[in-house]
Structure 1
Amino acid sequence: TMSSDDGDLENQAELEEKTRLINQVLELQPVCPGVDAVKEENLKLKSENQVLGQYIENLMSASSVFQTTDTKSKRK
C-alpha cells in the first residue's frame, strides 16, 4: 500500500505542476497580441525613418550650403 500512496502523491504533484504551467500560459497569452502590435509599429516606423532619411539626403545634396562643405572637404 505504501507504493500506491507514493504513486498517488507523484501523480498529484505532477497534476499540480501541469495546472500551474497551464495557468501561466493562459496569463501570458494576452501579452502576445500586444507584442505583435509593437513589432508591427516598429517596422512601420523604421520604414518611415528610411524614407525621411532619403528625403533629407536629397535635400542636403540639392542645397548649395551642403555642397560647398562637400567641395571643401574634398580639397583637403
Structure 2
Amino acid sequence: VCHADSDFGDLENQAELEEKTRLINQVLELQHTLEDLSARVDAVKEENLKLKSENQVLGQYIENLMSASSVFQTTDTKSKRK
C-alpha cells in the first residue's frame, strides 16, 4: 500500500512540475509579446513625430504659396468683405 501511495505522490509532483513549467513558458511568451508590442509602439510614435514635422513643413509651404498667389489674395479680400 505504501508503494502505491508513493507512486501517487510522484505523479502529483510530476503533474505539479508540468503545470509550473507550462505557466513559466506562458509567462515568458507573454513577456516576449509585450516586448514586441512595446517596440512597435515606439516605432509608431517615432513615425508619428516624423509625419507631424513633415505636415508642419508642408502646411507652411502651402501658406507661403497661397500668400504669394494673387488668386488666393483676391479670395481672401472677398471673404473679408462679407
TM-score by length of 2: 0.54
Aligned residues: 69
Q: Deviations over 1:1-28 (max 9, x none)?
A: xx99999999999999997776566435
Task: Give me the CA root mean square deviation.
Answer: 3.9
Question: Structure 1: 5+ residue runs without aligned partners?
Answer: 30-34
SS at match of 2:56: helix
Change (3 A) 1:54 1:39: same
Measure the CA separation in 2 of the matches of 1:70 and 1:24. 63
Give the direction of change, closer, same or farther, for the CA distance of 1:9–1:39 in structure 2 (3 Å limit).
farther
Structure 1's consecutive aligned runs of 4 or more residues displaced over 4 angstroms after TM superposition are 3-25
The CA deviation at 1:63 is: 0.5
* Larger CA Rg, structure 1 vs 2: 2
| Structure 2 residues without counterparts, runs of 5 or longer | 32-40
Compared CA separation, residues 36 and 72, structure 1 to 2 (3 A)? same
Q: Structure 2 vs 1, CA of residues 36 and 75 (structure 1 numbering), >3 Å: closer, same or farther?
A: same
Shift of 1:42: 0.7
> What is the CA-CA distance between 1:61 and the residue it aligns to?
0.9
Question: What percent of counterpart residues are identical?
Answer: 97
Assess, with a 3 A threshold, how the Cα gap between structure 1 residues 38 and 19 changes in structure 2: closer, same or farther: farther
